[in-house]
Structure 1
Amino acid sequence: MGNGLPSLDELETRRAQMFPSLSPSQVAKVATFGTEQQFKAGDIVFEQGDTNVPFFVVVEGAMEIVHPHGIGLEDHITTHHPREFTGEVTLLTDRRSLVRARANTDLRVIRVEQSKLRAIIQTEAELSELIMRAFILRRVGLLSTGYGDIVVIGSRDSAATLRLQEFLVRNGHPCKYLDVDRDADVQQLLDQFHVGVKDIPILICRGDVVLRNPTEAEVAECLGFNAAVSMGVVRDVIVCGAGPGGLAAAVYGASEGLDVLVIETSSPGGQAASSSKIENYLGFPTGVSGQALTGRALTQAEKFGAQLAVARGAVRLHCDETPMRIELANGESVRARSIVLATGAQYNKLDVPELHRFEGVGIYYAATYVESQRCGENEVIVVGGGNSAGQAATFLARSCTHVHMLIRGPDLAASMSRYLIRRIEETPNITLRRRTKIIALDGDEHLEYVTWRDEATGEVSKRPIRHVFSMAGASPNTEWLRGCVAMDPKGFVYAGTDVTHAMLDEAKWPLERQPMLFETSQPRVFAVGDVRANSVKRVASAVGEGSVCIQLVHKVLGE
């Protein structure tokens, strides 16, 4: 499944970092956290699908790591020799192992349980850097090769397939993708599992569970994404939303000893993950994709012990209960002593008849490698005048013959960074169409024609364009908070000094003090990032608010 990751040749240049050798003193340090264990030649050390897999350092012998697929088939990944270690990011999340480990010879290893591994990573700086870099690169390698535990059968002309692809990519889960229109051996697999093209997208999980057009919650359940998350524990803080603001709160909260649970309606990254490249984020002079930035942030949060529950959307906040209770879409509930609202905002939908018919099959709300693969070299439209739209336009211009950028205003200066404006002006295959609005969409099973109107001249144009990226405006996901926190007319949450005395009176604020910075009209409930009324809609701003907010959480928990 295409995802714009490094090629295997590129990864090979970093092999020494992917599979490093520990020094004798580092091995001795690891040994203080573990116990010795021995295996006979041919023994399985751990199997694909296992959970609670320990971290192993080879002392004597050799251990082969393979990716099993099909009956009796496996692909060689690497062989660990003395002073080399096993594992990748699943050891930080306690999800199922994607690979198998076998003793090639009689084998002696140091076995370190996952809780002890986290202690190493949190307390031993030198080992932490080496292990974390290796884990991240190994996961990138699995993603690049598709070495996972699932097969996805779908079609580029299927909106549900795109939804499933985005979910897996944003959750960093590798898989093999087969397209019913392009892969010759797909029919044999369909026959084997007694499914048909009408059932796509089809997810074959661990070779024995077949899901037909599954929901994100069903995929998460099948892959065990949330298996290690205990919903019955009262947390110090629950972070609602795994975008930049929520992940920053999770990193700082967990690193400072708080019991943190992040709940996410779909997958990590938020609106930032829809951006192909962010070039004005501090510390990344060459730019970084939204997916890479938020993926690293998630790994960082998990390193410190924060837990993530994906495909677990909140449907109601019971703020009148102590501890506060959040009711989830699947019927479960989670409780916390404090809550950080970081649910962000989603792009507004075009006000065009029959829009829903073309969502996912011509209308997209993200511009990443996954969506761009559907466009080929065709003309595309980007709607919007903010930084996300500008990043999308310049990214798509690399592969598409032409990008039409439609904005309602007279120029981009009020809403877009100057560096992006300059780049758009200097890119010959981007045309900026000012004061222009889409008024009609046409097509059968896929978008085929777009009609727009120049509001200044009244001129109407109909073009054979099959792909539109909608990145204009934003609305918050806050209906589930009604009755608990004060919000503006658009649904953005008031916090800090924006909470007036009248709002506090209406909410029956019980404390003598006023709400703290980022605290809402409900004590111990904070709002950060795009969901907060009057916030600066920037990734860096959301990260800053999420990190600062944790200092306030400490204060309210101490009251």
Structure 2
Amino acid sequence: MSNNPRGLPLTRAHIERIFPKLTDEQLSRMQERGHLRSVKLEVLVEQGDSNVPFFVVVSGEIEILRPSGDIETLITVHGPGQFTGEINMLSGRRALFRARATKPGNVIEMDRQNMMALLQSDAEIGDILMRAFILRRVELVAAGVGDVVLIGSSNSARTFQIKEFLMRNGHPYNYIDLENDSEVQHLLDNFHILANDIPVLICQGKFVLRNPNNQQIANCLGFNELINQTALRDLVIIGAGPSGLAAAVYGASEGLDVLVMETSSPGGQAGSSSRIENYLGFPTGISGQDLASRAYTQAQKFGAEILITKGLRLSCGGKPYIVENEDGSKIPTRTVIIATGAEYRRLRLKNLQRFEGMGVYYGATFLESQLCKGDEVIVVGGGNSAGQAAVFLAESAKCVHMLIRSAGLAESMSRYLIRRIEDTPKIILHTHTEIITLEGDIHLESVQWQNSITKEIEEHKISNVFVMAGAAPNTSWLDGCIALDSKGFIKTGADLSPEYLSNIGWPVARQPYSFETSLPGIFAVGDVRAGSIKRVASAVGEGSVAISFIHKVLQE
């Protein structure tokens, strides 16, 4: 990634947007936020450093390097008028690379707090920095260049899950496949890695995680390092899907102290969509991952903090409310927005879990599409997500079998997707059909499905199934704290009858606001809410509107 022939090659043509050169007038405005510093031949930032400063080169030169033992790989060279940093400057996460002054000169040095203030107050410079930060991260992800090496196997479901976690968190990594890399044994020996340790994550070339869970990965990469988990917050948002991220953007931009808590990866169910074509403002469509990534970055720009954690519990016995995570941290907050969404229902098959990540998937992104190129695949479901997946997978698969239990798609899918499916010869629709068995050794190898009308059973040598049917709300963690409907979705607003409120002792004189739950000051938005419209635009709208009621509660 470089505008210098010694650096890594770019995949984008517009180098000037990734490595812009600031004008003298812009440099003068930036110096007001920072201070001028003389540098000699020295390391300014080391890989893994926290509280990383932001540097603008006035004179001299700064090299950005990826260290690996005694070997350094050049990423880019910043000359006069150029600046350091990428997306980690927004989140405050650890430095991915080493920054070294290779020529004596002067730089403008700015701490992260002042850099963030500059982003929000100077529209012209803010646009330049944000665009460069985002595009630099895109290039790093595309090139697989970062501070992480993942050693895994195509025969490991956990390897796939780690790749998905890193991808959906936008963290660049280099992947080494045990089955295809002839040089991998040297690396295994160097770090004393055994075959049963796989998958293995190596952070910063020195920390070795053997078959890690997501929380261990987040800790190793310093995702949560700078987040204060004891400070009283104005608002804690639980869930970083479209509704949660919308609430974070609007809340933080309006001055609230916002913390978002997510147990896995930003984007929620929408983040697994290959392409969303009916979302306002994107006439050619946008992938769920891209939409989530942009919203995630936008929330950080306005100062929202995002905590990747595992296991949540809401303590609702009094105020302030307390949100507990698995490590025992107790985060106090004046208000809460629950945006934990829903997940696709698991098929009722006895050996389903065995093939999850090894032939059975719950998303259809570029990552999954690479696993089934040229093969037949199955998509289970008749909603928009299933339709988007079928059309996307048809671009690379040999054939896509769509299995639905109903007689057709008209009641559950947008018309534009139905037309797209009808016009795609590779997509075959099977109505009144369900999978009844999955077979295979390590990986899924064959599938049987049955027509519920004719009772005819068919067996096919198909090794990839994409399940996108039904919606089970993520509310089990609430443990009876908040009123739910018969299907487990959270009841809000007018769904809470006066009789019910009287019985539970609703503690304030007013009726619940829209999206407010059976506890005042706790709101639910998006797919987790009873009666919500299961569309991305609706989720975003609910998240943003809920902030207006949060302000009212905070004023009470």
What TM-score do you get using the length of structure 2 for normalisation?
A: 0.97
SS in 1 for 2:390: helix
1:74 CA displacement: 1.8
SS in 2 for 1:540: helix
SS in 2 for 1:231: coil
SS in 2 for 1:65: strand
Q: Matched residues in 1 for 2:405 and 2:154: separation?
A: 31
| 1:127 equivalenced with 2:125 (yes/no) | yes
SS in 1 for 2:294: helix
| Contact 2:230/2:329, CA 8 A, preserved across alignment | no
In structure 2, what is the equivalent of residue 558 of structure 1? 555
In structure 1, what is the equivalent of residue 163 of structure 2? 165
* Structure 2 counterpart of 1:12, one-letter code: R
1:39 CA displacement: 1.1
1:9 CA displacement: 7.1
SS in 2 for 1:375: coil
| Contact 1:98/1:147, CA 8 A, preserved across alignment | no
1:375 maps to which of 372, 375, 393? 372
In structure 1, what is the equivalent of residue 268 of structure 2? 270
| Contact 2:309/2:325, CA 8 A, preserved across alignment | no
2:340 maps to which of 321, 340, 343? 343
1:10 CA displacement: 6.8
Aligned pairs for 1:171-190 (under 5 A) are 171-190=169-188
* Structure 2 counterpart of 1:524, one-letter code: G
1:506 CA displacement: 3.4
| Contact 2:362/2:467, CA 8 A, preserved across alignment | yes
Structure 1 gap segments, 5+ residues each: 1-7
Q: Matched residues in 2 for 1:312 and 1:259: separation?
A: 22
* Structure 2 counterpart of 1:52, one-letter code: N
In structure 2, what is the equivalent of residue 391 of structure 1? 388
In structure 1, what is the equivalent of residue 58 of structure 2? 59
SS in 1 for 2:370: helix
1:418 maps to which of 389, 405, 415? 415
| 1:202 equivalenced with 2:200 (yes/no) | yes
- Choose 225-234 or 319-328, whichever is displaced more: 319-328
2:442 maps to which of 438, 442, 445? 445
| Contact 1:243/1:268, CA 8 A, preserved across alignment | yes
In structure 2, what is the equivalent of residue 471 of structure 1? 468
Q: Matched residues in 1 for 2:188 and 2:417: separation?
A: 46
- Choose 481-490 or 514-523, whichever is displaced more: 481-490
- Choose 248-257 or 204-213, whichever is displaced more: 204-213
* Structure 2 counterpart of 1:227, one-letter code: E
1:551 CA displacement: 0.7
1:217 maps to which of 190, 215, 218? 215
| Contact 1:21/1:84, CA 8 A, preserved across alignment | yes
Q: Matched residues in 2 for 1:405 and 1:18: separation?
A: 41
In structure 2, what is the equivalent of residue 3 of structure 1? none
Q: Matched residues in 2 for 1:412 and 1:76: separation?
A: 52
| 1:148 equivalenced with 2:146 (yes/no) | yes
SS in 1 for 2:36: strand
| 1:525 equivalenced with 2:513 (yes/no) | no
After superposition, the Cα gap between the structure-2 partners of 1:10 and 1:430, relative to the gap in structure 1 and judged at 3 Å, is farther
Q: Matched residues in 2 for 1:374 and 1:199: separation?
A: 23
Q: Matched residues in 2 for 1:370 and 1:494: separation?
A: 36
Question: CA deviation digits over 1:79-117, x for unaligned, max 9?
Answer: 111111111111111111111111121020011110001
Question: CA deviation digits over 1:417-474, x for unaligned, max 9?
Answer: 1111111111111100011000111111111110000112111001111110000001
Question: CA deviation digits over 1:329-379, x for unaligned, max 9?
Answer: 222221100000000000000011211111111111111111122223111
Aligned residues: 549
Q: Matched residues in 1 for 2:283 and 2:555: separation?
A: 40
1:502 CA displacement: 2.9
Q: Matched residues in 2 for 1:169 and 1:290: separation?
A: 12
The runs of at least 4 consecutive aligned structure 1 residues that moved more than 6 Å come to none
1:410 CA displacement: 0.7
* Structure 1 counterpart of 2:127, one-letter code: E
1:11 CA displacement: 3.6
| Contact 1:162/1:360, CA 8 A, preserved across alignment | yes
Aligned pairs for 1:507-526 (under 5 A) are 507-526=504-523
In structure 2, what is the equivalent of residue 39 of structure 1? 39
SS in 2 for 1:522: coil
| 1:12 equivalenced with 2:12 (yes/no) | yes
Question: CA deviation digits over 1:132-174, x for unaligned, max 9?
Answer: 0000001111111111111101112211111111110011111
Q: Matched residues in 2 for 1:114 and 1:357: separation?
A: 45
| Contact 2:260/2:306, CA 8 A, preserved across alignment | yes
SS in 1 for 2:486: coil
Q: Matched residues in 2 for 1:17 and 1:491: separation?
A: 47
In structure 2, what is the equivalent of residue 50 of structure 1? 49
| 1:93 equivalenced with 2:118 (yes/no) | no
Q: Matched residues in 2 for 1:400 and 1:507: separation?
A: 54
SS in 2 for 1:552: helix
Question: CA deviation digits over 1:53-75, x for unaligned, max 9?
Answer: 11111111111112222x22122
1:505 CA displacement: 2.5
| Contact 1:485/1:507, CA 8 A, preserved across alignment | no
In structure 2, what is the equivalent of residue 409 of structure 1? 406
| Contact 1:341/1:525, CA 8 A, preserved across alignment | yes
| 1:484 equivalenced with 2:481 (yes/no) | yes
* Structure 1 counterpart of 2:265, one-letter code: S
In structure 2, what is the equivalent of residue 323 of structure 1? 320
* Structure 1 counterpart of 2:98, one-letter code: R
Q: Matched residues in 2 for 1:411 and 1:247: separation?
A: 34
In structure 1, what is the equivalent of residue 5 of structure 2? none
Q: Matched residues in 1 for 2:196 and 2:152: separation?
A: 10
